[in-house]
Each structure stands twice: as structure tokens, then as C-alpha cells.
Chains A and B, each alone.
Chain A
Amino acid sequence: MSDMQTDARKPYVRPMEGWWRKNPFFVRYMARELTALVVAAYAFVLLAGLWCLASGESAYNAWLGVLRHPVSVALHAMALVAAVYHTWSWFEIMPKTMPPIVVGGKRVAARVITATGVVAAIVVTLVLFLAVWSIKP
């Protein structure tokens, strides 16, 4: 861009720092986008576990030991909050990110789509948890 500058004076560049803090809508937007870092971090935790599992029992048990560390549990508790926010925000914006659904000549309302997604997430959560819970040692 600098080669297009014909004026010798220093051009004014509007600062970007903290632009999103001025509006609650953009704060929610940034929070929603930040959940991607948590999703990535959790995927890497699982990838590390997978790698340890392939490396043998002692490596895998070392990974389990890291997961039992209070710092890990605290980080996972924060990740849980972010994951729940990701679930909520994902279905909140779904009416805007998916093609419109028309039933009986009327477009399905945004809140119906969001509610359906949230209910689906709750069902999946309960089914998965009960499936793991029913495993007998």
C-alpha cells in the first residue's frame, strides 16, 4: 500500500486494537470465534492421548496421569464452559448459516432451528454419557 501513497504526510490508520469491546454484539462474536482455540486445544489433547495409546501402556498411563493433575482438571472445567458456549452459539447462528427451510409454504422460524439444535445436543450428551456410564468395570 505504501507505494500508492502520494502524500508525504503520515497517513492516519484507524487503530484496530479492541474494536470489538465497544459493542456487546461484537464481544459475543469474539467469544464465539475464540471457542475455536479451545476446540483445537482439546483435539490436540486427544491426539496426544492417541499417540500415547499407540506408544504403549506406560506412555498411556502417563497421559492419564497428566489428565488427573489439578491444573488439567481446572483447564478442562474452563474448556467445558467454552464448549457449552460453542454449542449454544453454533445453534444460535445456524438460522443464518444454513439455507432457509420452508415447511407448508412458511419459513421455519430462527428460534425453532436454534431450539432444535440445542435439544439435539442435549440428547446426544445424555446418550453418550449414559453409554459410557453403563460400561461395567
Chain B
Amino acid sequence: MKTRSNAPIFWALFGAGGMLSALTGPVLVFITGIAVPLGFLLAPEVMSYPRMLAFAQHLLGKLLILAVIVLYLWHAAHRIFKSLHDVGIHPGPASKLACYGTALASSALAIYTVLAIGW
């Protein structure tokens, strides 16, 4: 029996993460990395501990946090894995493990952490 390729799974995660980061990447980087830290256009209290804790304790908040972190990472992992070829590191088990393994381990950590935050 012919084994089915697992490539469509990685491609789907790459596509979903690419689309999500294309739509939300610029505004999220601006909000969390520039506007809130500087107090520019947005108040620093927007990301205060009680507010972010309440967000992360809500089911919808957990899902949004996981969607961003997990899908961004799988998008990046797949793209980096494919691009290593262009700098002379040809696809192999080691580079695959490094890219997808990092994404997998980080995803597991993210899932564990949103659950550890509680409800």
C-alpha cells in the first residue's frame, strides 16, 4: 500500500498561517510592539496584567492567542524549511526536524500555557 504524503498538512498550515499573518501581522506588531509600549495612539493600560489575564482566561481569548502564535509559527517553519534549499542547505530529515520540530514544540508549549492560565 502506498503511504500518503504528509505534505498537504504542512502546506495547509503554511497557507493558513500565511493568510492570518498577512491580514493581522502589521497591525498586531504595531499594537503590541510600538503603540502600547510608547503610549502612542493607544493607552499602555490596554495591555495591563488584569486585562490580558482576563483575555487569556476567556475561551475566545485562548483560541485567538493560539491561532496567532501556532499558525504564525507553522507558516514560518514551512517557509524557512523550503528556503534553506536556496542557501545551500538541502531538504533532509535534520532540517525538517529543526523547522517542524521547533514549531511543534512551541505549539505544545503555547497550548500548555493557555491551559495553565486557567479559566
Q: Do they bind each other?
A: yes
Question: Measuring CB to CB, which residues of chain A are less than 8 angstroms from any residue of chain B?
Answer: 16, 20, 30, 33-34, 36-37, 39-40, 42-47, 49-51, 53-54, 57, 60-61, 64, 67-68, 72-73, 75-77, 79-80, 83-84, 86-87, 90-91, 97, 117, 120-121, 124-125, 128-129, 132-133, 135, 137
In whole Å, how far is B96's beta carbon from the nearest beta carbon of chain A?
A: 15
List the A side residues contacting B82 at CB < 8 Å.
33
- Name, among A45, A67, A77, A84, the residue most crowded by chain B CB atoms within 10 Å (CB to CB): A67
When the two chains form their complex, are residues A121 and B106 in contact, meaning their CB atoms are under 8 A apart? no
Indicate which residue in A20, A50, A86 contacts B110 across the interface (CB closer than 8 Å): A50
A and B contact pairs by CB, cutoff 8 A, 15 listed: A39-B25, A39-B72, A40-B73, A40-B77, A42-B25, A43-B68, A43-B73, A50-B69, A64-B44, A76-B30, A83-B25, A87-B25, A120-B23, A125-B23, A133-B42
| Bound Cα distance A89, B106 (Å) | 26
Tell whether B76 is near chain A: CB-to-CB under 8 Å: yes
Question: Measuring CB to CB, which residues of chain B are less than 8 angstroms from any residue of chain A?
Answer: 15, 17-19, 21-34, 36-38, 41-47, 49, 51-53, 56, 65, 68-69, 72-73, 75-77, 79-80, 82-83, 86-88, 106, 109-110, 113-114, 116-117
In whole Å, how far is A23's beta carbon from the nearest beta carbon of chain B?
A: 13
Indicate which residue in B18, B29, B106 contacts A90 across the interface (CB closer than 8 Å): B18
Task: Write the chain B residue with the least CB distance to A36.
Answer: B79
Indicate which residue in B24, B25, B30, B117 contacts A54 across the interface (CB closer than 8 Å): B117
Interface majority SS on B: helix, strand, loop or mixed? helix
| Bound Cα distance A40, B17 (Å) | 11
List the A side residues contacting B46 at CB < 8 Å.
132, 135, 137
Indicate which residue in A43, A53, A120, A129 contacts B76 across the interface (CB closer than 8 Å): A43
Contact A33/B86 with A80-B30, A90-B19 known, Cβ cut-off 8 Å = yes
List the A side residues contacting B73 at CB < 8 Å.
40, 43
List the A side residues contacting B18 at CB < 8 Å.
90
In whole Å, how far is A55's beta carbon from the nearest beta carbon of chain B?
A: 9
Task: Write the chain A residue with the least CB distance to B68.
Answer: A46
List the B side residues contacting A121 at CB < 8 Å.
22-23, 26
Indicate which residue in B28, B33, B77, B86 contacts A67 across the interface (CB closer than 8 Å): B33
Closest 10 CB pairs of A and B: A76-B33, A40-B76, A36-B79, A90-B22, A83-B25, A43-B72, A33-B83, A125-B27, A137-B45, A36-B76
